[in-house]
């Protein structure tokens, strides 16, 4: 059963189903056997119910592409926002999304989760720490992530001591409570729970990283699994198990075949190909599949920018 909702592009890439179908064929996704599957080339908002919304703020990678912000996903429940990862551009993408989803107004960004400590997933942390505080966040940023996230938060706060001092004690009269990060180092299991959502972390297989997590969000009306970066792993299938939305990273099989042996070894160890993802999505019985952290060939990115030709 497909969920009723509104599809809204937040980034300028990937605007039409025609481009998606072309990419679908190029990526050899024909082995995907379930009907309620949504393939997204761009950052999008899926307004799937009045209570729970899934918003993709960034689908990029370390490869610099001006059409793609860094990896970032928001789950919005009853007007409260929860972010998973915070790649470059996250606050501005949230501000743009707030035109349709007011919960993503930057001052409302209070609870965030890191899948792992790779720079493309965390480079937006200083912006997420500071800019919402300037904009009126009422209290500290609550940050959840694997071991090492507390040190990252501590160093970022130390780097901006002068800035915070001027903002709090100068003519801005900023709220000192907002200029703080409460870092929570977590391990697999239920890591967060409030009246809106239960968040469960699970370990994934991101190459040689010692700690790398995916997250499952359970709300009153939706279940959402976010893979983080990972090679194929049964953990995704187990965590989803018929979930409403599976948000998963991917790299193009066609692009992979053009890479050097060294890069092929890296990507097959750290990431998931389109054909592997088809198998995972089928086994997980996910109702809809959403792609992020997308590694495509440049000419495939051009397709995502879309052509109306059949």
Q: Report residues of the chain scoring pLDDT below 50.
A: 1-45, 47-49, 303-310
- Write out the residue range of the structural domain in which residue 139 sits: 6-305
Task: Determine, yes or no, domain membership for 134.
Answer: yes
Domain tally, the chain: 1
pLDDT at 301: 57
Q: Report if residue 193 sits inside a domain.
A: yes
**Can you read off the two tokens belonging to residue 206?**
């991101």
Among 127, 126, 134, residue whose Cα is nearest residue 170: 134
Measured CA to CA in angstroms, residue 297 lies from 90, 115, 162, 260, 301 at distances of 24, 25, 43, 14, 6
Q: What is the pLDDT of residues 129-149, one digit of tens each?
A: 999 999 999 999 999 999 999
- What's the confidence (pLDDT) of residue 119? 93
Judge whether 1 lies within some domain.
no
Residue 115, pLDDT score: 97
Q: What is the DSSP string of 135-204?
A: TT--S-EEEEESTTHHHHHHHHHHHTHHHHHHHHHSTT---GGGS-EEEEE--SEEEEE-SS-EEEEEE-
HEC-encoded secondary structure of 5-50: CEEEECCCCCCCHHHHHHHHHHCCHHHCCCCCCCCCCCCEEEECCC
- Looking at residue 167, what is its pLDDT? 97
* In-domain check, residue 279: yes
d(CA 168, CA 177): 10
Answer whether 283's CB lies under 8 Å from 243's CB.
no
For residue 42, tell me if it sits in a domain: yes
Amino acid 300: pLDDT: 63
pTM of the model: 0.84
CATH of residue 50's domain is 3.60.15.10
């Amino acid at each position: 059963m497909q969920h009723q909702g509104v599809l809204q592009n937040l980034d300028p890439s990937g605007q039409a189903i025609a481009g998606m179908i072309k990419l679908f064929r190029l990526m050899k996704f024909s082995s995907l056997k379930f009907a309620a599957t949504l393939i997204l080339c761009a950052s999008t908002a899926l307004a799937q119910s009045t209570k729970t919304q899934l918003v993709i703020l960034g689908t990029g990678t370390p490869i610099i592409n001006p059409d793609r912000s860094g990896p970032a996903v928001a789950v919005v429940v009853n007007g409260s926002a929860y972010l998973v990862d915070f790649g470059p551009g996250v606050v501005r993408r949230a501000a743009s999304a707030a035109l349709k989803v007011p919960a993503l107004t930057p001052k409302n960004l209070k609870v965030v989760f890191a899948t792992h400590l790779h720079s493309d997933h965390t480079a937006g942390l200083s912006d997420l720490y500071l800019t919402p505080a300037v904009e009126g966040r009422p209290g500290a940023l609550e940050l959840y992530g694997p071991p090492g996230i507390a040190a990252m938060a501590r160093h970022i706060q130390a780097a901006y001591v002068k800035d915070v001092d001027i903002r709090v004690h100068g003519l801005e009269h900023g709220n000192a409570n907002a200029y703080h990060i409460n870092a929570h180092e977590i391990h697999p299991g239920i890591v967060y729970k409030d009246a809106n959502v239960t968040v469960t972390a699970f370990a994934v297989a991101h190459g040689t990283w010692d700690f790398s997590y995916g997250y499952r969000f359970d709300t009153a009306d939706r279940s959402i699994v976010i893979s983080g970066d990972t090679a194929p792993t049964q953990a995704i299938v187990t965590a989803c198990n018929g979930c409403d939305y599976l948000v998963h990273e991917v790299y193009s099989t066609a692009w992979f075949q053009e890479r050097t042996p060294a890069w092929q070894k890296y990507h097959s160890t750290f990431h998931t190909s389109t054909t592997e993802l088809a198998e995972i999505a089928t086994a997980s019985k996910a109702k809809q599949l959403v792609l992020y952290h997308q590694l495509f060939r440049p000419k495939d990115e051009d397709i995502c920018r879309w052509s109306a030709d059949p």
